Structure 1
């Protein structure tokens, strides 16, 4: 099938829990990810490498890397990780990479418009606006162009047509001026097979601040199976996300999925850590990555780590829970899920 010829293809975005052909990431190179000192750069490279090597222990992994970053990546990454050299602005490939779908004739890759999380003044996207082309081409997927400004961290699906999104992302006037809910839903139906879109009012508080995404859903809630949703549970009334999550919980509790099933909510505790030097944190165990046979989970060296990992083990029976340090990632604006992207296995594949 020729790239871009996606009409009448019946594209479907599989659930993250379905088998993967491989995963995709990008190696950090931008100053606002690497920091201002050699020690800060070392922290970033160490954090990305820990996630990459954990993923690669369970499924093939491809890594985008700049020419300048190749040597450092090769020094830190497992030898079987495939490197793709290209220009990059940053390393949040969940957002700048494609959203993979499957259709009547094989694999598709939705190339959303990427504009630096709503034209954030600190962001650069000269190269990241085209970074999705790397995985699209290398995977052999049919390229599916979308006019919607969107990021992979801005949606979650159960694989059966139910999607979670937030009003503050898809309806952001700096992303999609003039778009309505109906228009977004129609585009999601065409490109990723959405049959029911559940609109959450917003994301977490820190994520709505200067260096956030304005409300990505992937630190708020996720599907573990059709009808089953893990939800961020900020228990401290001191934290503004306590009220935010009460509103989101209410929306989810009154929603049904594409098959008409009420959603069963499982609360995943927020870390006990409430603040850092910049204010209230948005640390979230929801921001994990389900890979073949395992879950790569955020760990915060926090008293709630053990409880959260136990909840994840119960939510993903049969999968190994692999904790990786996430404080360094969140200090730079994201977590494990934000830096990873799955390429689903096609029916009859070996994954």
Structure 2
């Protein structure tokens, strides 16, 4: 589930239980057991379950804690997920469950994410919000990669957006690793996909010493006071996903 807290009910932990259907009901997916995990974790953690009729996943949203949420048109409005949804309905449900007031609709995700085993555009591969008003954006620097043009388009799109307070975003480019391809085609390796924990940041490492170091420096600047630790992620991403994809923060509530 996506854990939430409510300023008007201190000490109460909420858990938004989205509907899950294997990232848009692709032919290869089976999700009967997976669809029950949100409710199971909510109960195990003692959280108040908040059921939702929206098909959604943790990697499909990012929030700044101050009213802004990042999504992609190709996930929340995916016909395989929410065939009857509109932007207005999705925004209303995100407001109800997450308390957001401003939704940034990215037009798409990374190229590889639209192949058979992709998520159809999870936002956690392209952008995140380390603080209100600031966005870390995946940046493919090599014009030989199709995401070079995708990165350009996404940056151009963001230049016209504002956060929930009406501020233009400070956009921080996070360069991709130098590797362009693996055995299956163009890679979607991203340092934007990381986990923020108490006192630290767990970052993806791609066996690219220079790019890994640059990304760690950018993340250290984005999260002052936190220690950035880079871990090898190739075995994880080869199975589909990265650090943020396989984790979910649980906030502490109460004293």
Cα distance in structure 2, aligned partners of 1:326 and 1:117: 21
Paired position in structure 2 for 1:322: 229
Structure with greater contact order relative to length (CA < 8 Å, sep ≥ 6): 1
Cα distance in structure 2, aligned partners of 1:257 and 1:340: 25
Paired position in structure 2 for 1:153: 59
Alignment coverage as a number of residue pairs: 251
Paired position in structure 1 for 2:214: 307
Cα distance in structure 2, aligned partners of 1:101 and 1:144: 9
Cα distance in structure 2, aligned partners of 1:330 and 1:197: 28
The answer to whether structure 1 residue 336 and structure 2 residue 239 are counterparts is no
Normalising by structure 1, we get a TM-score of: 0.70
Cα distance in structure 1, aligned partners of 2:143 and 2:92: 38
Shift of 1:158: 0.3
Show the 5 A alignment for 1:111-130.
111-130=17-36
RMSD: 0.9
Q: Deviations over 1:227-259 (max 9, x none)?
A: 011000100111010111111111111110001
Paired position in structure 2 for 1:169: 75
Structure 2 unmatched ranges of 5 or more: none
SS of corresponding position for 1:203: coil
Paired position in structure 2 for 1:101: 4
Cα distance in structure 2, aligned partners of 1:226 and 1:219: 19
Normalising by structure 2, we get a TM-score of: 0.96
**Moved runs in structure 1, 4+ residues, more than 6 A?**
none
Cα distance in structure 2, aligned partners of 1:134 and 1:319: 31
Shift of 1:118: 0.2
The answer to whether structure 1 residue 264 and structure 2 residue 167 are counterparts is no
Paired position in structure 2 for 1:74: none
Cα distance in structure 1, aligned partners of 2:71 and 2:151: 15
Shift of 1:134: 2.1
SS of corresponding position for 2:53: strand
SS of corresponding position for 1:169: helix
Cα distance in structure 2, aligned partners of 1:312 and 1:194: 25
Shift of 1:202: 0.6
Paired position in structure 1 for 2:157: 251
SS of corresponding position for 2:154: helix
Cα distance in structure 1, aligned partners of 2:231 and 2:39: 29
Paired position in structure 2 for 1:134: 40
Paired position in structure 1 for 2:142: 236
